[in-house]
Structure 1
Amino acid sequence: MPLRFGYGTNGLADLRLDDALALLADLGYDGVGLTLDHMHLDPLAPDVAARTRRLAQRLDTLGLQVTVETGARYVLDPRRKHGPSLLDPDPDDRARRVDLLIRAVRIAADLGAHAVHCFSGITPPETGPETAWHRLADALTPVLDAATTADIPLAVEPEPGHLLATLADFHRLRHLLGDPAHLGLTLDIGHCQCLEPLSPADCVHAAAPWLRHVQIEDMRRGIHEHLPFGEGEIDFPSVLAALRANRYQGLTVVELPRHSHAGPHFAELSLPFLHRAAATATRSPVPVPPPHGDPSATPEGSTP
């Protein structure tokens, strides 16, 4: 099965949503990673249901698949980046983030999306790790209930610097929640290069049973900076070969939010790069996936 590539709207923030979608369709992308935000599809707008219906029709007309992403910086709080989070000390603040994620699940169901992406947030000051983990599990429980009802996977992303930073942390959450069927994983390939003990390709193999969404960009070891393809250290043919070998069926979405000022340029360059890397992977022998399971090490940056 061929891989399906998308581009994130957080990397096209200066374009109207319809213009961004038309651009991606014209360039040949298979889908879009749709970040719910004020400039595109505002999840808090009073007419969001009607706008979602129109968007679903537009995606169908353009032949674009979609994954819903929830990483907008200031959609809930104009003064706090990614605030409030699922880990905030104030239960009312946590409830605002939970409400956003449940709204995202409903929007994803109406769009026929592959998954809803989310992340844990940064552990607040003076909050112990056990308290943070239990807050995260409690906050995600109603979101998972909504995802189960809608039959939409909730794909949690390990994010450097967050409570849930690594694959090992994802497995901690999975076990804490009792391994619910609709809890999945967003794997950011750059984050694997940044801090995982395994190579990005081996991360794909290890994560395959839970993999519901993939974000992709270049990155260097130890530096959390999303880079255009070719400016980092990642071996992309091996990563794409691993996705293919594990029959990954979701979208692989280019994630370049800090390059949004030149989003159309990078969107145009990124898809041919990925197609060339995928062709190289196809010509190479398909690797035999190692046994799936939890990573054997908890690297620096993870919560012990």
Structure 2
Amino acid sequence: MESDPKMRTALADRPFGIYEKALAPGPWLGMLEQARDAGFQFVEMSLDESADRLARLAWSAETRRRLVADIQETGIPIYSICLSAHRRFGLGSADPQVRTEAARILHDAVDLAADLGVRVIQIAGYFAYYEPESPDARSRYVDGLRVGLAHAAERGVMLAVENIDTVDMASVSDCLTLRDELDNPWFQIYPDIGNLAVHSLGVAAQTALVKGAAVGLHLKDARAGEPRRVPFGEGTVPFPAVFQTLNQIRYDGPLTLEMWNDDPTTATQIATDALRWIRQTISDALASAS
């Protein structure tokens, strides 16, 4: 595999981001400082199904301005929002009330992103996670996305779908099919490399498909059926092949380490070590391919 020296430098030395849940929880100023101290250049915010994080959608104008000030003070922006609340409130739900709430969440998340200067909202590919399978779930999901996408385009916020740990949207190929179906420049893909391994897919081959379509990538390790809390280097993700592939296709978008913190006292050190491991693995992989 031919390696481009200029791309090798760009890939190994590029800015990296960290998922909010990898940090010790607390006020945003402190979390941004943690990310900076661990060597990261940006943070990805979580809007999951928990009441505490969903409450962010109702933040006052003053709270939003305060976070913008924290971003400016630390120099660590929030590039993206991981909107996983749709796992609980499915856009593809058979229940009209659930779909209405899912639509409200997406609308309000777009407004929050616009107010904070967030570039991308990652949309989880769950149709109706907690409900029995339905042949109509996908079409309802797409209809909900179309409505939310119209608002996102108006506010200048990119939506991008993530392949997830269920069969609803399992692969990069699935995400590309949805992207083509929606056919809107404000809707792209934000793949999760680890979730490809969860489904025992050809990780490097699927990674090659992100060319020209991915506005971000989640980097995490994983195993078949085990999508979370697998330390880097202990799962089945073939990271050297992934990085060689990204180099070959000249991927130059953001790279975000998706991790979960279970011990606030060690969070910064674990994140620092993970970033060091990723950078070294990139360097080694691309050096061996040159």
TM-score interval, normalised by the smaller of the two chains: 0.7 to 0.9
Does the CA contact (< 8 Å) of 1:36 and 1:70 recur in 2?
yes
Superposed CA RMSD in Å reads: 2.6
What SS is found at the alignment partner of 1:44?
Answer: helix
Does the CA contact (< 8 Å) of 1:229 and 1:270 recur in 2?
yes
Task: Pick one of 30, 40, 58 that aligns with 1:45.
Answer: 58
Question: Which runs of 5 or more residues in structure 1 are unaligned?
Answer: 77-81, 287-304
Q: Does 1:202 align with 2:205?
A: yes
Q: Distance in 1 between matches of 2:247 and 2:31?
A: 28
TM-score, L = length of structure 1: 0.80
What SS is found at the alignment partner of 2:57?
Answer: coil
Aligned to 1:283: 287
Does the CA contact (< 8 Å) of 2:23 and 2:34 recur in 1?
no
Q: Distance in 2 between matches of 1:266 and 1:182?
A: 35
Q: Does 1:242 align with 2:245?
A: yes
Number of residue pairs matched by the alignment: 274
Q: Distance in 1 between matches of 2:27 and 2:238?
A: 33
| Structure 1 or 2: more helix by fraction | 2
Q: Distance in 1 between matches of 2:53 and 2:69?
A: 16
Matches for 1:1-304 after TM superposition, within 5 Å: 1=10, 2-12=13-23, 14-36=25-47, 42-47=55-60, 49-65=61-77, 66-71=79-84, 82-121=87-126, 122=128, 125-129=131-135, 131-161=136-166, 163-177=168-182, 179-195=183-199, 197-199=201-203, 201-257=204-260, 259=262, 262-285=266-289
Q: Distance in 1 between matches of 2:220 and 2:133?
A: 32
Assess, with a 3 A threshold, how the Cα gap between structure 1 residues 107 and 228 changes in structure 2: closer, same or farther. same
Identity across matched positions, percent: 26
Q: Distance in 2 between matches of 1:40 and 1:198?
A: 34
Q: Which of 219-228 and 201-210 deviates more?
A: 219-228
Question: Which runs of 5 or more residues in structure 2 are unaligned?
Answer: 1-9
Q: Distance in 1 between matches of 2:73 and 2:83?
A: 24
1:128 aligned partner, one-letter code: S
Structure 1 position 14, deviation (Å): 3.0
Does the CA contact (< 8 Å) of 1:3 and 1:248 recur in 2?
no
Structure 1 position 160, deviation (Å): 1.5
TM-score, L = length of structure 2: 0.83
Does the CA contact (< 8 Å) of 2:193 and 2:217 recur in 1?
yes
Does the CA contact (< 8 Å) of 1:98 and 1:139 recur in 2?
yes
Assess, with a 3 A threshold, how the Cα gap between structure 1 residues 168 and 235 changes in structure 2: closer, same or farther. closer
Does the CA contact (< 8 Å) of 1:87 and 1:120 recur in 2?
no
Find runs of 4+ consecutive structure 1 residues off by over 6 angstroms.
none
